[in-house]
Structure formats: structure tokens, C-alpha cells
């Protein structure tokens, strides 16, 4: 099942893992990344220091500490450069690698933010299409792997983009 909702991803408790739109260091930052680090508490920073960072399009996993879920999957989305720097493929890789990592850890319910559409300026409608399409592809390739994939979106315009992409997929 694939859904969208308005809300704060740090408050979601009906999933096993949330995805963090992280930066390369995995040590916290602004937006979703900063909110997740603040809500999880200082032990998250201690653990992410041991992970060796993360490249764009890749994913790593940690415990969730004070969050109401078991795990955080950290992925680094691409910065939008007009679409000329492989951004679409890198964003697709964020979703695919996050879900493959979830499967490796037996995680069946995952909440995503809208990766790269904040300070990285990826166009939200294109990002939503890539996100929904990639998740559907992975779910078709592994039909018994997931019970719930949900996008937890911060504002109604972003939710509208994801709802439209879901309807058209």
C-alpha cells in the first residue's frame, strides 16, 4: 500500500523506519535532516559519526533512538542543477537504495519525506513522479517485501504533487 499524508515525519509511528533526506556527512543539517537529528537525540549523532558519510544516491541505516520508530534510513538526494547532472537517476537511486536497505533489515513499513525538494531545489512535480515510479517498480520487483510506504509531506502543495503522481502512476 502506498499513501501520502501531511505531517511531521518525526512524529510518525505507524512505520518501522523513516527516511532522512540527509547531507553527505550524515551529521545533521537543516530541514528534515535537522528535525530528525533533534528529535532522535544526541545518540544519533554519535552513531552517524561511525557510518563514514554517504554519497549522493546511496543509503545507510541507523537506530532511531528517541523517535517513535526503530530505524532511520539516511539517503543523500541530488542538488538540482537544471537536470543536466544526472539528478533524476540519483534521486531514483535514493528511493531504490533506501528500499533495498529496508528489505535487508526486514523493514516492511517505511515513511519517506520529499527528498531533494527543499534546499536542494529539485522540482517537486518531477521529484514526485520519480519517487512514486521508483517505489512502485521496487514493489513490483519484490511484491511481498512491504506492507506500507508512506510519504509524510510538510505542506499541502507538496502533498498535492505526490497525490497527483500517485494517481497518474
CATH number of the domain where residue 107 is located: 3.40.220.10
- How are beta strands 59-63 and 109-112 bridged, if at all? unpaired
Please count the structural domains in the chain: 1
Assign 169 a pLDDT band (cuts: 50, 70, 90).
confident
* Residues 10, 160 contacting (CB under 8 angstroms): no
Helix (H, G, I), strand (E, B) or coil at 126: helix
Q: Where are the alpha helices (DSSP H) in 27-155?
A: 31-40, 42-49, 87-104, 124-141
pLDDT in tens, 45-98: 999 999 999 999 999 999 999 999 999 999 999 999 999 999 999 999 999 999
Question: Has residue 31 got a pLDDT over 90?
Answer: no
Map residue 161 onto helix, strand or coil: helix
Residue-number span of the structural domain to which 154 is assigned: 2-168
Give dist(CA 91, CA 35) in Å, integer: 21
Amino acid at each position: 500500500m502506498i499513501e501520502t499524508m501531511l505531517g511531521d515525519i518525526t512524529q510518525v509511528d505507524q512505520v518501522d523506519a523513516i527516511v532522512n533526506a540527509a547531507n553527505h556527512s550524515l551529521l545533521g543539517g537543516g530541514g528534515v535532516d535537522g528535525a530528525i537529528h533533534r528529535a532522535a537525540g544526541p545518540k544519533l549523532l554519535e552513531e552517524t559519526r561511525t557510518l563514514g558519510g554517504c554519497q549522493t544516491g546511496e543509503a545507510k541505516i541507523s537506530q532511531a533512538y528517541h523517535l517513535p520508530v526503530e530505524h532511520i534510513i539516511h539517503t543523500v538526494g541530488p542538488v538540482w542543477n537544471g537536470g543536466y547532472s544526472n539528478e533524476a537517476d540519483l534521486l531514483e537511486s535514493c528511493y531504490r537504495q533506501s528500499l533495498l536497505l529496508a528489505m535487508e533489515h526486514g523493514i516492511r513499513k517505511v515513511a519517506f519525506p520529499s527528498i531533494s525538494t527543499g534546499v536542494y531545489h529539485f522540482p517537486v512535480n518531477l521529484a514526485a513522479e520519480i519517487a512514486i515510479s521508483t517505489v512502485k517498480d521496487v514493489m513490483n520487483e519484490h511484491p511481498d517485501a512491504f506492507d506500507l510506504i508512506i510519504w509524510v509531506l510538510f505542506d499541502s502543495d507538496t502533498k498535492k504533487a505526490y497525490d497527483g503522481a500517485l494517481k497518474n502512476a
